[in-house]
Structure 1
Amino acid sequence: MDWALIESWKEMGVPLHVALRGIERAFDSYESKPRRRSVKSLLYCQEEVEAQFAEWQEAQVGAAEQKNGERILQEQSDDSHLPFSRAAILEHMERARVALLQICEERKKRRKDDLCDALSRAVSRLEELEKDFKRAARPDAEKLEDALTSLEEILDEALLKSLSSRELKAARAEAEEQLQPYQSRMERTVFEQTLENLVLKRLRDTHGLPRLSLFYL
């Protein structure tokens, strides 16, 4: 269920660097106290990630008050603030762009619809984002993540509109069956959101749509 937890962090607005810091600290704590059982899920890190997020939110408020009216000078050509190396992020975007382009070209051979248009626009936008990120003196990973998430939402919407009601019902039925053992332990709203996320995941996988968010790098 790690994917569902990642989705929930994204929906909460947890910045990528905060999630990574929480995961790192959770594992540091685990390694400092050897146990017989190994960690097999990100659920082990959930409490620490959410605690780090709460601290980050408080720090943001304090920083905003302190920096009121001040101009912040940032070092040029500094990638140390990035959650992953610039090369890894660029490779991730290129890989996603190539995959989307291939899906687009294959689909155009059979039909040309709104999903084709969305795929084509996403490929063009990804190419722009790659160029901007590559030449930026101090690239902004959070801004990039927002752009990638917006692209994913556009693709998800176009994908759903392109499918028949029969395919949607089948995907939902399979997702409900998979989640059924967990339903009694989840709040209704959480269950419904997790179900929708799982349906989308199944449909993306079926149609080969790659994840764009840096959370999946």
Structure 2
Amino acid sequence: MDGWNYFSYYSEIEEYFWKKRGAHLLVSPIDWAIMESWQQAGVPLSAVCKGIDRAFESYQRSRRGAGRALKSLAYCTDAVLEAAEEEKAAAAGAAPSANAVPLPETFSREALRAYFQRNVAQLRGAAERVSPTAPEMAARFSESAQALEDKFVLLDAPGALDLEDIERHLTVLDEKLQAALASLAPEDLLLRIRRDLDHQLAAYRGNMKGPQLAQIERQFIHKRLLEEYRLPRLSLYYFS
């Protein structure tokens, strides 16, 4: 991704999709997983919007689209990835800018500190809730809370905040938490989530390629596990 003003990535995609549909629609868990898969793959926001435009144009020309609006981002996946590849190819042939301007700080230190503190509190609250029945999981949640608290020093560094470096640290913590959830969640919970995933994806599997489908499935399962244990996402992309 080519700029750290893209921390509003998800909200901008939601708003753009709503405008194309002509009506507000609650974003489904599958749509969230799709957006997260694009963000994880580094798909630029411009490519997402271009792909959505193309998907709507194609759908409206088809017999299925007569008088009906697209209901899900799942129908846009191929067009978005195609637009991303085009932008990548175009960028590879472009000369680098000799006068790059540093990006301004997107968030204030006070707002980021409050965001970190809120997430630490949620992690510790989750640890307390599961401690009686799942002590190993509680220990992992507590470790995550302490690791995040240790990152407060990043907000006290002199000079401009390095948001890209802060995001790297938070991504590592997110990935460790994701691994802990996947390995320690009970089998019956994982089966319930998998059944729900299969039900929600049934209508869209034909619109997605294998690697992308696997990424969306991982994002969906992780999101549902976070919801189950009332855990936060730590990345700045979820800052609010």
Q: TM-score, normalised by structure 1?
A: 0.69
Residues 1:9 and 2:43 are matched in the alignment: no
Q: Secondary structure at the match of 1:181?
A: coil
Per the TM alignment, residue 166 of structure 1 is displaced from its structure 2 partner at its CA by 2.3
CA deviations over 1:20-72 (Å, ceiling 9, x no partner)? xx49x98xxxxxxxxxxxxx9887xx58x948974996599836xx79xxxxx
1:150 to 148, 172, 182: 172
Residues 1:82 and 2:131 are matched in the alignment: no
Q: Is the 8 A contact 2:33 2:217 kept in 1?
A: no
1:62 to 96, 101, 118: 96
Greater relative CO (CA pairs within 8 A, separation 6+): 2
Residues 1:160 and 2:194 are matched in the alignment: no
Q: TM-score, normalised by structure 2?
A: 0.63
CA deviations over 1:148-193 (Å, ceiling 9, x no partner)? 1111111111112212222212211111101111111111222222
Count of aligned pairs between the two proteins:
191
Residues 1:104 and 2:127 are matched in the alignment: yes
Q: Which has the higher helix share?
A: 1
Q: Is the 8 A contact 2:174 2:233 kept in 1?
A: yes
In 2, the alpha carbon distance for the partners of 1:84 and 1:194 equals 29
**Cα distance change, pair 6–84 in 1 and its aligned pair in 2 (3 A):** farther
Residues 1:216 and 2:238 are matched in the alignment: yes
Unpaired runs of at least 5, structure 1: 27-39, 68-73
Q: Is the 8 A contact 1:133 1:139 kept in 2?
A: yes
In 1, the alpha carbon distance for the partners of 2:108 and 2:72 equals 25
Unpaired runs of at least 5, structure 2: 1-29, 51-70
Residues 1:130 and 2:164 are matched in the alignment: no
Identity of aligned residues (%): 26
In 2, the alpha carbon distance for the partners of 1:57 and 1:127 equals 38
Per the TM alignment, residue 206 of structure 1 is displaced from its structure 2 partner at its CA by 1.0
